[in-house]
Structure 1
Amino acid sequence: MSFDLKTYLLIKKEKIEQFINSYFNPPIIPLILHESVLYSLTAGGKRLRPILCIASYEACGGTEDISAYAAAIEFIHTYSLIHDDLPAMDNDDLRRGKPTNHKVFGEAIAILAGDGLLTEAFTVLSNPDYANIKPHALIDVISEISTASGLRGMVAGQAYDLIYEGRDPDAGIVELIHRYKTAAIITASVKSGAILAAADDDQLKKMADYGLCIGLAFQIIDDILDIEGSTKEMGKPRGSDAERGKMTYPRVFGVLESRKKAKDLIDRALNALEIFDHKAQPLREIAKYIINRTS
Protein backbone atom coordinates (compact mmCIF):
# COMPACT_ATOMS: atom_id res chain seq x y z
CA MET A 1 0.00 0.00 0.00
CA SER A 2 1.39 3.41 -0.96
CA PHE A 3 2.16 5.98 1.69
CA ASP A 4 0.45 9.39 1.49
CA LEU A 5 2.89 11.90 2.97
CA LYS A 6 0.55 14.85 2.49
CA THR A 7 -2.14 13.22 4.63
CA TYR A 8 0.39 12.13 7.26
CA LEU A 9 1.82 15.66 7.57
CA LEU A 10 -1.67 17.14 7.82
CA ILE A 11 -2.76 14.74 10.58
CA LYS A 12 0.38 15.30 12.65
CA LYS A 13 0.29 19.05 12.08
CA GLU A 14 -3.31 19.16 13.36
CA LYS A 15 -2.23 17.33 16.54
CA ILE A 16 0.50 19.92 17.11
CA GLU A 17 -1.95 22.77 16.48
CA GLN A 18 -4.45 21.28 18.95
CA PHE A 19 -1.84 21.16 21.67
CA ILE A 20 -0.68 24.73 20.99
CA ASN A 21 -4.25 26.06 21.07
CA SER A 22 -5.07 24.25 24.31
CA TYR A 23 -1.77 25.18 25.96
CA PHE A 24 -2.32 28.91 25.49
CA ASN A 25 -5.91 28.83 26.71
CA PRO A 26 -6.52 30.71 28.99
CA PRO A 27 -4.34 33.49 27.54
CA ILE A 28 -1.02 34.64 28.94
CA ILE A 29 -1.07 37.93 30.85
CA PRO A 30 -0.27 40.63 29.77
CA LEU A 31 -2.39 40.08 26.69
CA ILE A 32 0.04 41.78 24.29
CA LEU A 33 2.64 39.13 25.14
CA HIS A 34 0.06 36.41 24.47
CA GLU A 35 -0.79 38.00 21.11
CA SER A 36 2.87 38.30 20.16
CA VAL A 37 3.61 34.66 21.02
CA LEU A 38 0.62 33.30 19.10
CA TYR A 39 1.18 35.68 16.18
CA SER A 40 4.41 33.85 15.34
CA LEU A 41 3.52 30.42 16.71
CA THR A 42 0.36 30.17 14.57
CA ALA A 43 1.71 31.89 11.45
CA GLY A 44 1.42 28.78 9.29
CA GLY A 45 4.72 26.94 9.64
CA LYS A 46 5.21 23.40 8.33
CA ARG A 47 5.76 21.98 11.85
CA LEU A 48 8.52 19.87 10.31
CA ARG A 49 10.65 19.56 13.45
CA PRO A 50 7.90 18.32 15.78
CA ILE A 51 6.61 16.01 13.04
CA LEU A 52 10.11 14.55 12.65
CA CYS A 53 10.12 13.91 16.40
CA ILE A 54 6.80 12.06 16.20
CA ALA A 55 7.80 10.12 13.07
CA SER A 56 11.05 9.00 14.69
CA TYR A 57 9.19 7.97 17.83
CA GLU A 58 6.79 5.85 15.78
CA ALA A 59 9.61 4.36 13.69
CA CYS A 60 11.26 3.13 16.90
CA GLY A 61 8.04 1.49 18.11
CA GLY A 62 6.50 4.27 20.22
CA THR A 63 2.72 4.20 20.60
CA GLU A 64 1.93 7.11 22.97
CA ASP A 65 0.69 10.55 21.90
CA ILE A 66 3.82 12.69 22.30
CA SER A 67 2.39 15.79 20.58
CA ALA A 68 3.08 17.94 23.65
CA TYR A 69 6.79 17.12 23.75
CA ALA A 70 7.06 17.51 19.98
CA ALA A 71 5.29 20.90 20.13
CA ALA A 72 7.92 22.10 22.62
CA ILE A 73 10.45 21.85 19.80
CA GLU A 74 8.22 24.12 17.71
CA PHE A 75 8.27 26.64 20.58
CA ILE A 76 12.07 26.72 20.31
CA HIS A 77 12.04 26.95 16.53
CA THR A 78 9.56 29.85 16.62
CA TYR A 79 11.61 31.71 19.24
CA SER A 80 14.65 31.40 16.97
CA LEU A 81 12.74 32.87 14.03
CA ILE A 82 11.44 35.82 16.07
CA HIS A 83 14.94 36.67 17.26
CA ASP A 84 16.56 35.96 13.89
CA ASP A 85 14.30 38.55 12.24
CA LEU A 86 15.21 41.34 14.67
CA PRO A 87 17.04 44.46 13.41
CA ALA A 88 20.17 43.49 15.35
CA MET A 89 20.22 40.09 13.61
CA ASP A 90 18.92 39.65 10.03
CA ASN A 91 16.60 42.69 10.10
CA ASP A 92 13.78 41.02 8.14
CA ASP A 93 10.38 42.62 7.52
CA LEU A 94 8.57 39.51 6.26
CA ARG A 95 8.16 35.98 7.65
CA ARG A 96 5.75 33.37 6.26
CA GLY A 97 4.11 36.05 4.16
CA LYS A 98 3.35 38.31 7.14
CA PRO A 99 5.14 41.24 8.78
CA THR A 100 7.73 39.96 11.24
CA ASN A 101 6.90 39.95 14.95
CA HIS A 102 8.87 43.07 15.86
CA LYS A 103 7.21 45.00 13.03
CA VAL A 104 3.81 44.35 14.64
CA PHE A 105 4.57 44.34 18.37
CA GLY A 106 7.84 46.26 18.66
CA GLU A 107 11.32 44.95 19.36
CA ALA A 108 10.97 44.69 23.15
CA ILE A 109 7.82 42.55 23.09
CA ALA A 110 9.23 40.43 20.25
CA ILE A 111 12.34 39.71 22.32
CA LEU A 112 10.24 38.81 25.34
CA ALA A 113 7.97 36.58 23.25
CA GLY A 114 11.02 34.70 22.00
CA ASP A 115 12.49 34.45 25.50
CA GLY A 116 9.16 33.17 26.80
CA LEU A 117 8.78 30.51 24.11
CA LEU A 118 12.30 29.18 24.69
CA THR A 119 11.74 28.91 28.44
CA GLU A 120 8.21 27.55 28.11
CA ALA A 121 9.47 24.71 25.91
CA PHE A 122 11.32 23.26 28.89
CA THR A 123 8.28 23.67 31.11
CA VAL A 124 6.51 21.32 28.70
CA LEU A 125 9.42 18.92 28.29
CA SER A 126 9.84 18.54 32.06
CA ASN A 127 6.16 17.71 32.63
CA PRO A 128 5.69 13.91 32.89
CA ASP A 129 1.89 14.09 32.68
CA TYR A 130 1.55 14.48 28.90
CA ALA A 131 2.38 10.86 28.05
CA ASN A 132 3.51 7.61 29.66
CA ILE A 133 7.23 8.27 29.20
CA LYS A 134 9.94 7.24 31.66
CA PRO A 135 11.33 10.28 33.54
CA HIS A 136 14.93 9.49 32.59
CA ALA A 137 13.91 9.63 28.91
CA LEU A 138 12.49 13.13 29.42
CA ILE A 139 15.73 14.19 31.11
CA ASP A 140 17.74 12.82 28.18
CA VAL A 141 15.49 14.69 25.73
CA ILE A 142 15.87 17.94 27.68
CA SER A 143 19.66 17.50 27.54
CA GLU A 144 19.55 16.72 23.81
CA ILE A 145 17.34 19.67 22.86
CA SER A 146 18.97 22.22 25.17
CA THR A 147 22.42 21.34 23.81
CA ALA A 148 21.23 21.54 20.20
CA SER A 149 19.52 24.89 20.69
CA GLY A 150 22.11 26.52 22.94
CA LEU A 151 25.71 27.71 22.90
CA ARG A 152 26.95 24.42 21.42
CA GLY A 153 24.25 24.35 18.77
CA MET A 154 21.83 26.77 17.13
CA VAL A 155 22.97 29.88 19.03
CA ALA A 156 26.58 29.23 18.00
CA GLY A 157 25.44 28.72 14.42
CA GLN A 158 23.59 32.02 14.37
CA ALA A 159 26.66 33.75 15.79
CA TYR A 160 28.87 32.25 13.06
CA ASP A 161 26.25 33.30 10.49
CA LEU A 162 26.48 36.91 11.63
CA ILE A 163 30.27 36.96 12.06
CA TYR A 164 30.95 35.67 8.55
CA GLU A 165 28.55 37.94 6.66
CA GLY A 166 30.36 39.58 3.75
CA ARG A 167 33.50 37.48 4.09
CA ASP A 168 35.17 35.46 1.34
CA PRO A 169 33.50 32.11 0.54
CA ASP A 170 34.78 29.33 2.80
CA ALA A 171 33.67 25.69 2.49
CA GLY A 172 34.57 24.82 6.08
CA ILE A 173 32.73 27.80 7.55
CA VAL A 174 29.56 27.29 5.52
CA GLU A 175 29.29 23.66 6.71
CA LEU A 176 29.95 24.79 10.29
CA ILE A 177 27.14 27.37 10.06
CA HIS A 178 24.67 24.89 8.55
CA ARG A 179 25.59 22.11 10.98
CA TYR A 180 24.97 24.31 14.02
CA LYS A 181 22.31 26.79 12.91
CA THR A 182 19.89 24.37 11.25
CA ALA A 183 21.01 20.76 11.38
CA ALA A 184 21.58 20.64 15.16
CA ILE A 185 17.95 21.23 16.14
CA ILE A 186 16.63 19.01 13.31
CA THR A 187 18.95 16.21 14.47
CA ALA A 188 17.79 16.72 18.06
CA SER A 189 14.15 16.56 16.94
CA VAL A 190 14.75 13.17 15.31
CA LYS A 191 16.87 11.81 18.16
CA SER A 192 14.37 12.99 20.77
CA GLY A 193 11.61 10.88 19.24
CA ALA A 194 13.88 7.86 19.32
CA ILE A 195 14.86 8.54 22.95
CA LEU A 196 11.20 8.82 23.98
CA ALA A 197 10.57 5.44 22.32
CA ALA A 198 13.43 3.84 24.29
CA ALA A 199 15.42 3.13 21.11
CA ASP A 200 18.59 1.04 21.38
CA ASP A 201 22.08 2.46 20.70
CA ASP A 202 22.15 1.34 17.05
CA GLN A 203 18.75 2.89 16.36
CA LEU A 204 19.80 6.14 18.06
CA LYS A 205 22.99 6.33 15.98
CA LYS A 206 21.10 5.76 12.74
CA MET A 207 18.49 8.38 13.68
CA ALA A 208 21.26 10.86 14.49
CA ASP A 209 22.87 10.17 11.08
CA TYR A 210 19.51 10.62 9.36
CA GLY A 211 18.78 13.85 11.25
CA LEU A 212 22.16 15.42 10.48
CA CYS A 213 21.91 14.59 6.77
CA ILE A 214 18.39 15.92 6.28
CA GLY A 215 19.22 18.96 8.43
CA LEU A 216 22.17 19.92 6.24
CA ALA A 217 20.18 19.19 3.07
CA PHE A 218 17.27 21.28 4.34
CA GLN A 219 19.48 24.34 4.75
CA ILE A 220 21.22 23.82 1.41
CA ILE A 221 17.82 23.79 -0.33
CA ASP A 222 16.90 26.91 1.67
CA ASP A 223 20.03 28.59 0.29
CA ILE A 224 19.10 27.57 -3.27
CA LEU A 225 15.50 28.77 -2.86
CA ASP A 226 16.80 32.18 -1.83
CA ILE A 227 18.18 32.38 -5.37
CA GLU A 228 15.61 30.42 -7.39
CA GLY A 229 12.44 30.49 -5.29
CA SER A 230 9.61 33.03 -5.25
CA THR A 231 8.90 35.49 -2.46
CA LYS A 232 5.23 34.44 -2.52
CA GLU A 233 5.94 30.72 -2.04
CA MET A 234 8.71 31.21 0.52
CA GLY A 235 6.86 33.89 2.49
CA LYS A 236 10.05 35.96 2.78
CA PRO A 237 12.03 38.17 0.38
CA ARG A 238 13.97 36.34 -2.32
CA GLY A 239 17.66 37.25 -2.57
CA SER A 240 18.06 38.42 1.03
CA ASP A 241 21.06 36.11 1.61
CA ALA A 242 22.96 37.61 -1.33
CA GLU A 243 22.12 41.16 -0.21
CA ARG A 244 23.74 40.53 3.16
CA GLY A 245 26.67 38.54 1.80
CA LYS A 246 25.62 35.45 3.76
CA MET A 247 27.93 32.43 3.75
CA THR A 248 25.72 30.00 1.82
CA TYR A 249 26.34 26.78 -0.11
CA PRO A 250 25.54 28.34 -3.53
CA ARG A 251 27.90 31.22 -2.78
CA VAL A 252 30.69 28.75 -1.99
CA PHE A 253 29.96 25.90 -4.44
CA GLY A 254 27.45 27.24 -6.96
CA VAL A 255 23.83 26.12 -7.35
CA LEU A 256 24.43 22.90 -9.33
CA GLU A 257 27.09 21.56 -6.97
CA SER A 258 25.00 22.58 -3.96
CA ARG A 259 22.01 20.66 -5.30
CA LYS A 260 24.21 17.61 -5.85
CA LYS A 261 25.49 17.84 -2.28
CA ALA A 262 21.90 18.01 -1.00
CA LYS A 263 20.94 14.92 -3.04
CA ASP A 264 23.96 13.01 -1.70
CA LEU A 265 22.94 13.91 1.84
CA ILE A 266 19.38 12.69 1.27
CA ASP A 267 20.73 9.41 -0.13
CA ARG A 268 22.82 9.02 3.02
CA ALA A 269 19.79 9.78 5.17
CA LEU A 270 17.78 7.08 3.41
CA ASN A 271 20.62 4.60 3.85
CA ALA A 272 20.63 5.31 7.58
CA LEU A 273 17.01 4.13 7.75
CA GLU A 274 17.70 0.70 6.22
CA ILE A 275 17.62 -1.01 9.63
CA PHE A 276 14.02 0.20 10.20
CA ASP A 277 10.84 -1.39 8.87
CA HIS A 278 7.72 0.15 7.28
CA LYS A 279 7.08 2.28 10.37
CA ALA A 280 9.96 4.52 9.22
CA GLN A 281 8.27 5.24 5.88
CA PRO A 282 7.19 8.75 6.98
CA LEU A 283 10.85 9.58 7.64
CA ARG A 284 11.84 8.25 4.22
CA GLU A 285 9.18 10.30 2.47
CA ILE A 286 10.05 13.45 4.45
CA ALA A 287 13.66 13.11 3.28
CA LYS A 288 12.48 12.96 -0.35
CA TYR A 289 10.15 15.91 0.26
CA ILE A 290 13.04 18.04 1.57
CA ILE A 291 15.04 17.72 -1.66
CA ASN A 292 12.03 18.68 -3.79
CA ARG A 293 10.43 21.42 -1.70
CA THR A 294 9.72 24.87 -3.12
CA SER A 295 9.08 26.76 0.13
Structure 2
Amino acid sequence: MNLSSKIYVAGHKGMAGSGVLRHLKSIGYENLITRDRSELNLTNQAAVETFFANEKPEVVIMAAAKVGGIYANNIYPASFLYENLAIATNTVNAASISGTERFLFLGSSCIYPKFASQPIKESSLLTDMLEPTNEAYAIAKIAGLKLCEYYRKQYGVLFHSLMPTNLYGQGDNYHPENSHLLPALIGRFHEATVANRESVTIWGTGTPRRELMNVDDLAEAITHVLSLEDPPDLINAGTGVDHSIMEIAEIVKRVVGFEGEIKTDPSKPDGTPRKLLDVSLLKKHGWSSGIPLEKGIADTYEWYLQERESGNLRSV
Protein backbone atom coordinates (compact mmCIF):
# COMPACT_ATOMS: atom_id res chain seq x y z
CA MET A 1 0.00 0.00 0.00
CA ASN A 2 1.39 3.40 -0.98
CA LEU A 3 0.13 6.99 -0.96
CA SER A 4 -1.37 6.64 -4.44
CA SER A 5 -3.29 3.43 -3.62
CA LYS A 6 -7.04 3.55 -4.18
CA ILE A 7 -8.40 2.60 -0.75
CA TYR A 8 -11.98 1.81 0.17
CA VAL A 9 -12.67 2.37 3.88
CA ALA A 10 -15.94 0.56 4.61
CA GLY A 11 -17.82 1.77 7.66
CA HIS A 12 -16.17 5.20 7.62
CA LYS A 13 -18.86 6.73 9.84
CA GLY A 14 -18.38 4.20 12.63
CA MET A 15 -15.77 4.54 15.33
CA ALA A 16 -13.14 2.24 13.80
CA GLY A 17 -13.70 3.35 10.21
CA SER A 18 -13.67 7.06 11.02
CA GLY A 19 -10.47 6.59 13.01
CA VAL A 20 -8.83 4.82 10.07
CA LEU A 21 -9.98 7.49 7.63
CA ARG A 22 -8.75 10.27 9.91
CA HIS A 23 -5.36 8.61 10.27
CA LEU A 24 -4.92 7.89 6.55
CA LYS A 25 -5.66 11.51 5.70
CA SER A 26 -3.23 12.72 8.35
CA ILE A 27 -0.34 10.76 6.80
CA GLY A 28 -0.99 11.86 3.23
CA TYR A 29 -3.43 9.38 1.66
CA GLU A 30 -5.86 11.13 -0.67
CA ASN A 31 -7.30 8.48 -3.02
CA LEU A 32 -9.88 7.32 -0.50
CA ILE A 33 -13.31 5.88 -1.29
CA THR A 34 -16.22 5.98 1.14
CA ARG A 35 -19.92 5.23 0.96
CA ASP A 36 -22.47 5.61 3.73
CA ARG A 37 -25.32 3.17 4.26
CA SER A 38 -27.77 5.24 2.22
CA GLU A 39 -25.39 5.10 -0.76
CA LEU A 40 -24.34 1.44 -0.48
CA ASN A 41 -26.09 -1.28 1.51
CA LEU A 42 -23.39 -3.87 2.14
CA THR A 43 -25.98 -6.57 2.84
CA ASN A 44 -27.22 -6.21 -0.78
CA GLN A 45 -25.12 -8.56 -2.90
CA ALA A 46 -25.95 -7.01 -6.28
CA ALA A 47 -25.25 -3.48 -5.05
CA VAL A 48 -21.91 -4.53 -3.56
CA GLU A 49 -20.83 -6.31 -6.73
CA THR A 50 -21.75 -3.28 -8.84
CA PHE A 51 -19.82 -0.96 -6.53
CA PHE A 52 -16.65 -3.07 -6.67
CA ALA A 53 -16.91 -3.54 -10.43
CA ASN A 54 -17.20 0.22 -10.98
CA GLU A 55 -14.74 1.53 -8.39
CA LYS A 56 -12.15 -1.30 -8.42
CA PRO A 57 -10.47 -0.40 -5.13
CA GLU A 58 -6.91 -1.65 -4.78
CA VAL A 59 -7.11 -1.89 -0.98
CA VAL A 60 -10.16 -2.55 1.20
CA ILE A 61 -10.30 -1.91 4.94
CA MET A 62 -13.47 -3.62 6.12
CA ALA A 63 -14.52 -1.75 9.26
CA ALA A 64 -18.26 -1.92 8.53
CA ALA A 65 -20.36 -3.99 10.92
CA LYS A 66 -23.55 -4.04 12.94
CA VAL A 67 -22.25 -3.60 16.49
CA GLY A 68 -23.59 -3.21 20.02
CA GLY A 69 -23.07 -4.12 23.65
CA ILE A 70 -24.34 -7.04 25.74
CA TYR A 71 -27.93 -5.78 25.75
CA ALA A 72 -28.17 -5.32 21.98
CA ASN A 73 -26.45 -8.65 21.23
CA ASN A 74 -28.87 -10.46 23.55
CA ILE A 75 -32.01 -8.86 22.15
CA TYR A 76 -31.19 -8.87 18.41
CA PRO A 77 -29.06 -12.01 17.75
CA ALA A 78 -30.63 -12.82 14.37
CA SER A 79 -29.93 -9.30 13.10
CA PHE A 80 -26.32 -9.41 14.30
CA LEU A 81 -25.69 -12.78 12.65
CA TYR A 82 -27.46 -12.10 9.35
CA GLU A 83 -26.22 -8.56 8.70
CA ASN A 84 -22.59 -9.18 9.62
CA LEU A 85 -22.48 -12.46 7.72
CA ALA A 86 -23.96 -10.79 4.64
CA ILE A 87 -21.46 -7.92 4.84
CA ALA A 88 -18.55 -10.36 5.01
CA THR A 89 -19.63 -12.70 2.21
CA ASN A 90 -20.67 -9.92 -0.15
CA THR A 91 -17.54 -7.79 0.22
CA VAL A 92 -14.91 -10.54 0.27
CA ASN A 93 -16.30 -12.22 -2.84
CA ALA A 94 -16.87 -8.96 -4.74
CA ALA A 95 -13.35 -7.78 -3.91
CA SER A 96 -11.89 -11.02 -5.23
CA ILE A 97 -13.88 -10.83 -8.46
CA SER A 98 -13.02 -7.16 -9.09
CA GLY A 99 -9.27 -7.64 -8.60
CA THR A 100 -8.74 -5.99 -5.22
CA GLU A 101 -5.08 -6.45 -4.32
CA ARG A 102 -5.43 -6.34 -0.55
CA PHE A 103 -8.35 -6.80 1.82
CA LEU A 104 -8.09 -6.30 5.58
CA PHE A 105 -11.05 -7.64 7.54
CA LEU A 106 -11.61 -6.29 11.05
CA GLY A 107 -12.93 -8.82 13.51
CA SER A 108 -13.42 -8.63 17.25
CA SER A 109 -11.92 -10.24 20.32
CA CYS A 110 -15.31 -11.90 20.96
CA ILE A 111 -14.43 -14.47 18.27
CA TYR A 112 -12.36 -16.32 20.87
CA PRO A 113 -13.74 -18.92 23.31
CA LYS A 114 -15.30 -17.65 26.53
CA PHE A 115 -12.78 -19.49 28.68
CA ALA A 116 -9.72 -19.21 26.43
CA SER A 117 -6.35 -19.19 28.19
CA GLN A 118 -5.23 -15.63 28.95
CA PRO A 119 -3.77 -13.72 27.25
CA ILE A 120 -5.59 -15.04 24.20
CA LYS A 121 -3.42 -16.21 21.32
CA GLU A 122 -4.62 -16.31 17.72
CA SER A 123 -4.36 -20.11 17.89
CA SER A 124 -7.22 -20.18 20.45
CA LEU A 125 -9.76 -19.64 17.68
CA LEU A 126 -12.40 -22.41 17.46
CA THR A 127 -10.99 -24.40 20.37
CA ASP A 128 -14.02 -24.09 22.71
CA MET A 129 -17.48 -22.53 23.16
CA LEU A 130 -18.14 -18.83 22.66
CA GLU A 131 -19.62 -16.34 25.13
CA PRO A 132 -23.42 -16.86 24.67
CA THR A 133 -24.33 -13.17 24.96
CA ASN A 134 -22.49 -12.26 21.73
CA GLU A 135 -22.31 -15.63 19.99
CA ALA A 136 -24.26 -14.48 16.93
CA TYR A 137 -21.92 -11.56 16.24
CA ALA A 138 -18.87 -13.73 16.87
CA ILE A 139 -19.99 -16.45 14.45
CA ALA A 140 -20.42 -13.89 11.67
CA LYS A 141 -16.97 -12.42 12.35
CA ILE A 142 -15.37 -15.89 12.40
CA ALA A 143 -16.97 -16.62 9.03
CA GLY A 144 -15.56 -13.38 7.63
CA LEU A 145 -12.00 -14.00 8.72
CA LYS A 146 -12.17 -17.60 7.49
CA LEU A 147 -13.42 -16.34 4.12
CA CYS A 148 -10.32 -14.15 3.88
CA GLU A 149 -8.07 -17.02 4.90
CA TYR A 150 -9.56 -19.45 2.39
CA TYR A 151 -9.76 -16.96 -0.48
CA ARG A 152 -6.06 -16.30 0.11
CA LYS A 153 -5.38 -20.03 0.12
CA GLN A 154 -7.48 -20.86 -2.92
CA TYR A 155 -6.99 -17.79 -5.11
CA GLY A 156 -3.68 -16.34 -3.91
CA VAL A 157 -5.18 -12.95 -3.01
CA LEU A 158 -3.70 -11.00 -0.09
CA PHE A 159 -6.81 -11.06 2.09
CA HIS A 160 -6.17 -11.18 5.83
CA SER A 161 -7.69 -10.21 9.19
CA LEU A 162 -6.95 -8.12 12.25
CA MET A 163 -8.66 -8.72 15.58
CA PRO A 164 -8.97 -5.54 17.67
CA THR A 165 -9.61 -5.70 21.37
CA ASN A 166 -12.40 -3.58 22.89
CA LEU A 167 -12.21 -0.14 21.30
CA TYR A 168 -13.05 3.34 22.55
CA GLY A 169 -12.48 6.93 21.45
CA GLN A 170 -13.74 9.45 18.95
CA GLY A 171 -16.82 8.39 16.99
CA ASP A 172 -18.16 5.94 19.57
CA ASN A 173 -21.88 5.27 20.00
CA TYR A 174 -23.55 6.73 23.09
CA HIS A 175 -26.96 5.10 22.73
CA PRO A 176 -28.39 4.53 26.26
CA GLU A 177 -29.00 0.80 25.59
CA ASN A 178 -26.83 -0.24 22.63
CA SER A 179 -23.51 1.35 23.60
CA HIS A 180 -20.36 -0.51 24.67
CA LEU A 181 -18.71 -0.40 28.10
CA LEU A 182 -16.78 2.86 28.02
CA PRO A 183 -19.34 5.16 26.33
CA ALA A 184 -21.99 3.71 28.65
CA LEU A 185 -19.84 4.59 31.66
CA ILE A 186 -18.97 8.07 30.37
CA GLY A 187 -22.63 8.81 29.71
CA ARG A 188 -23.77 7.57 33.13
CA PHE A 189 -21.06 9.36 35.10
CA HIS A 190 -21.52 12.62 33.18
CA GLU A 191 -25.29 12.63 33.68
CA ALA A 192 -24.88 11.73 37.36
CA THR A 193 -22.41 14.59 37.83
CA VAL A 194 -24.70 17.11 36.13
CA ALA A 195 -27.67 15.91 38.20
CA ASN A 196 -25.58 15.83 41.41
CA ARG A 197 -26.58 12.22 42.10
CA GLU A 198 -25.18 10.30 45.04
CA SER A 199 -24.27 7.14 43.12
CA VAL A 200 -23.79 5.48 39.74
CA THR A 201 -24.72 1.81 39.22
CA ILE A 202 -22.71 -0.35 36.81
CA TRP A 203 -23.88 -3.63 35.31
CA GLY A 204 -22.70 -6.90 36.86
CA THR A 205 -20.24 -7.41 39.67
CA GLY A 206 -17.48 -5.13 38.36
CA THR A 207 -14.94 -7.97 38.57
CA PRO A 208 -14.59 -9.04 34.89
CA ARG A 209 -11.47 -7.69 33.26
CA ARG A 210 -11.37 -5.83 29.96
CA GLU A 211 -8.62 -4.60 27.67
CA LEU A 212 -9.42 -1.22 26.10
CA MET A 213 -7.65 0.22 23.08
CA ASN A 214 -7.98 3.74 21.72
CA VAL A 215 -9.28 3.83 18.15
CA ASP A 216 -6.36 6.09 17.12
CA ASP A 217 -4.00 3.30 18.21
CA LEU A 218 -6.02 0.85 16.12
CA ALA A 219 -5.72 3.07 13.04
CA GLU A 220 -1.94 3.06 13.36
CA ALA A 221 -1.93 -0.72 13.84
CA ILE A 222 -4.00 -1.18 10.68
CA THR A 223 -1.72 0.90 8.48
CA HIS A 224 1.29 -0.94 9.91
CA VAL A 225 -0.20 -4.37 9.18
CA LEU A 226 -1.08 -3.23 5.65
CA SER A 227 2.59 -2.39 5.13
CA LEU A 228 3.66 -5.99 5.80
CA GLU A 229 4.52 -7.94 2.66
CA ASP A 230 3.46 -11.30 4.06
CA PRO A 231 1.14 -10.72 7.03
CA PRO A 232 -0.35 -13.53 9.11
CA ASP A 233 -3.88 -14.60 8.15
CA LEU A 234 -4.99 -13.50 11.61
CA ILE A 235 -3.31 -11.06 13.98
CA ASN A 236 -4.44 -9.58 17.29
CA ALA A 237 -4.32 -5.84 17.99
CA GLY A 238 -4.49 -4.59 21.55
CA THR A 239 -2.56 -3.00 24.39
CA GLY A 240 -1.55 -6.15 26.23
CA VAL A 241 -2.94 -4.67 29.49
CA ASP A 242 -6.36 -5.18 31.09
CA HIS A 243 -8.33 -3.72 34.02
CA SER A 244 -11.37 -4.79 36.00
CA ILE A 245 -14.62 -3.07 35.04
CA MET A 246 -14.62 -1.49 38.49
CA GLU A 247 -11.10 -0.10 37.87
CA ILE A 248 -12.25 1.31 34.54
CA ALA A 249 -15.28 2.86 36.24
CA GLU A 250 -12.97 4.47 38.82
CA ILE A 251 -10.89 6.01 36.02
CA VAL A 252 -14.01 7.39 34.34
CA LYS A 253 -15.19 8.73 37.70
CA ARG A 254 -11.90 10.63 38.14
CA VAL A 255 -11.88 11.98 34.59
CA VAL A 256 -15.50 13.16 34.72
CA GLY A 257 -15.16 14.54 38.26
CA PHE A 258 -17.99 12.54 39.80
CA GLU A 259 -17.85 12.60 43.62
CA GLY A 260 -20.48 10.00 44.50
CA GLU A 261 -20.40 6.24 45.06
CA ILE A 262 -20.05 3.45 42.49
CA LYS A 263 -22.55 0.62 43.00
CA THR A 264 -22.79 -2.73 41.22
CA ASP A 265 -25.85 -4.63 39.98
CA PRO A 266 -25.04 -8.38 40.13
CA SER A 267 -28.47 -9.20 38.65
CA LYS A 268 -27.14 -7.99 35.28
CA PRO A 269 -24.83 -10.23 33.19
CA ASP A 270 -21.07 -9.92 33.55
CA GLY A 271 -20.25 -11.38 30.14
CA THR A 272 -16.86 -13.00 29.59
CA PRO A 273 -14.80 -13.08 32.83
CA ARG A 274 -11.66 -11.86 31.10
CA LYS A 275 -10.62 -10.87 27.58
CA LEU A 276 -6.96 -9.98 27.21
CA LEU A 277 -5.36 -10.46 23.82
CA ASP A 278 -1.87 -11.82 23.35
CA VAL A 279 -0.27 -9.14 21.17
CA SER A 280 3.17 -10.74 20.90
CA LEU A 281 2.67 -11.53 17.20
CA LEU A 282 1.93 -7.88 16.38
CA LYS A 283 4.93 -6.77 18.45
CA LYS A 284 7.06 -9.29 16.58
CA HIS A 285 5.93 -7.61 13.36
CA GLY A 286 7.00 -4.19 14.64
CA TRP A 287 4.06 -2.41 16.29
CA SER A 288 2.96 -1.71 19.89
CA SER A 289 0.16 0.39 21.41
CA GLY A 290 1.17 3.85 22.64
CA ILE A 291 -1.86 5.56 24.28
CA PRO A 292 -2.22 5.04 28.08
CA LEU A 293 -5.79 4.28 29.19
CA GLU A 294 -6.38 7.26 31.49
CA LYS A 295 -5.07 9.74 28.90
CA GLY A 296 -7.19 8.10 26.22
CA ILE A 297 -10.31 8.29 28.39
CA ALA A 298 -9.61 11.94 29.24
CA ASP A 299 -9.25 12.79 25.53
CA THR A 300 -12.42 10.84 24.77
CA TYR A 301 -14.39 12.68 27.47
CA GLU A 302 -13.25 16.01 26.06
CA TRP A 303 -14.44 14.91 22.61
CA TYR A 304 -17.73 13.69 24.15
CA LEU A 305 -18.38 17.09 25.73
CA GLN A 306 -17.69 18.89 22.44
CA GLU A 307 -19.98 16.57 20.46
CA ARG A 308 -22.71 16.78 23.08
CA GLU A 309 -22.54 20.57 23.10
CA SER A 310 -22.74 20.73 19.31
CA GLY A 311 -25.60 18.22 19.12
CA ASN A 312 -23.54 15.82 17.00
CA LEU A 313 -23.07 13.04 19.55
CA ARG A 314 -23.64 9.63 17.95
CA SER A 315 -26.45 7.73 19.70
CA VAL A 316 -27.96 5.22 17.28
TM-score bin (small chain) = 0.3 to 0.5
TM-score, normalising length: structure 2: 0.31
TM-score, normalising length: structure 1: 0.33
Structure with the higher helix share, 1 or 2: 1
Structure with the higher strand share, 1 or 2: 2
